[in-house]
Structure formats: structure tokens, C-alpha cells
Amino acid sequence: MNSDFPEQNNTSTYGSEVADPSAVATNDVSSYASTSDNSVNADAASDDSAMEPQIDSLKAQLEASSNQYTRLVADFDNYRKRTQKEKDDLDALVKRNTITELLPVVDNFERARAHIKPQNDSEMAIHKSYQGVYKQLVDSLKRLGVSPMRPEGQPFDPNLHEAVLREPTDEHPEGTVLEELVRGYFLGERVLRHAMVKVAAPKEDTPVLDDTQSSAADS
């Protein structure tokens, strides 16, 4: 064997020149995966950008529908309140008119009670009979919220009273209600019928004559 040519280590030399095949494959896979992810992200971003106008349009439609619903609810609530008020006003008007028509009947009962004086048992029985009807009518009116005015001795109030007579007097201040001629009534807190009253007026003073006037009057 010729010793001038030393043996060469082929394996060592080859290994230093060529990379590990498995490492090369791993790098290729990682590079492909990274490229794929970037591509997917880019596609997703592109899809989101394309859907943004549709999303904005749907949001606008939802807001418009919500506003329309709110307006409809408010309009219906106002309509309900308005119709209820109209119904209450109509009921109050019918009630007021009906009771007003019954007041002359009450007046007649009161006049009869003031003027009729029973003289015997049969007349007293009739008197008690119609007075029972009168009491029943008055009780019914009370349950409906009707109450009589009591103006005697009170100052005249044009919102409650109607002055039909004036009586000169010095026993009461001017404008004092002396007598209720036709009874007034309240329905709740509102005036159902004004009371017709007689009101105090200042009493006219008799003029005092001096001596000259007295002598002239005597002559």
C-alpha cells in the first residue's frame, strides 16, 4: 500500500458541506405555514372590509325600526290617554246633566215639606210617605257626590251665588247672604247649580234737617 496518499474521511467531508435533510424540511413547512396564515388573514380582512357596508346598513335599519317602534308606543299611549279622558269627560257631562234635571224634583219636595202641615193621621201618613221618597232621592244624590250649599251668613261669592234680591239692613255687613231662595249644589268640588240668594245692602240713612229747613217744612 502506498503511504504517500493518506485516506480521506468521505463522511466527514460530506457532512460539512450538505445540511441536514430533516432540518431543511422543517424550515420549508414553517415557511409554508407562515405564508398560509398570512394569506388567510389577508382573506379574512378582505372579507370583513367587504361586509362592513352591509353591517352598517343593517345597523341603520335596526336603529330606524327601533325609533319607529318607540314612536308607535308613544303615539298609542297618547291615544289611550286621550280617549280615556274623552270618555271620563263624557261620563261626567251625562252625570251632571242627569242630576241637574233631578234638582227641580228635590226643590218641589222641599217646598211641599215647608208648606204642607198635616192636620190628621191620614194626612200625616201621606206626608211621611212622600218624605220617605224625598229622603231616598237625597241619599241617592249624596252617593253620586252631590252636596248642598249653606250660604246663609257667608259673604256673597259670584262664583257660587246669584243675587236676585237686595235687602237694606244695618244688622249685617254689606254683601252678606241673608237668605237662600233656591238651593245651590256642588257635584264633587265643582258647582252644579248656583244658589239664588238675598244679599244685605247698606241701609239708607234718614237725612237730618237743620232748624231753617225744619221751620220751612213746618210752614
Question: Grid cell 227641580 — which residue?
Answer: 104
16-31: average pLDDT: 49
Residue intervals in the chain for CATH 2.30.22.10: 147-205
- What number does CATH give the domain 27-144? 3.90.20
Contact status, residue 166 vs residue 207, Cβ threshold 8 Å: no
Sheet order of strands, 161-169 included = 161-169, 195-202, 177-182
Question: pLDDT tens, 101-111?
Answer: 999 999 998 88
**Given pLDDT bands bounded at 50, 70 and 90, which one contains residue 42?**
low
| Closest of 162, 161, 187 to residue 93, by C-alpha | 187
- Residues 28/29/34/39 CA torsion (nearest 10 deg): 100
Q: Assess whether pLDDT exceeds 60 at residue 18.
A: no
**Given pLDDT bands bounded at 50, 70 and 90, which one contains residue 82?**
very high
Give the Cβ contact number of residue 137 at 10 Å. Answer: 14
The residue ranking higher by pLDDT, 119 or 142, is 142
Q: Assess whether pLDDT exceeds 60 at residue 4.
A: no
Residue intervals in the chain for CATH 3.90.20: 27-144
* Least reliable range by pLDDT among 48-52, 125-129, 187-191: 48-52
- What number does CATH give the domain 147-205? 2.30.22.10
* Least reliable range by pLDDT among 29-33, 89-93, 152-156: 29-33
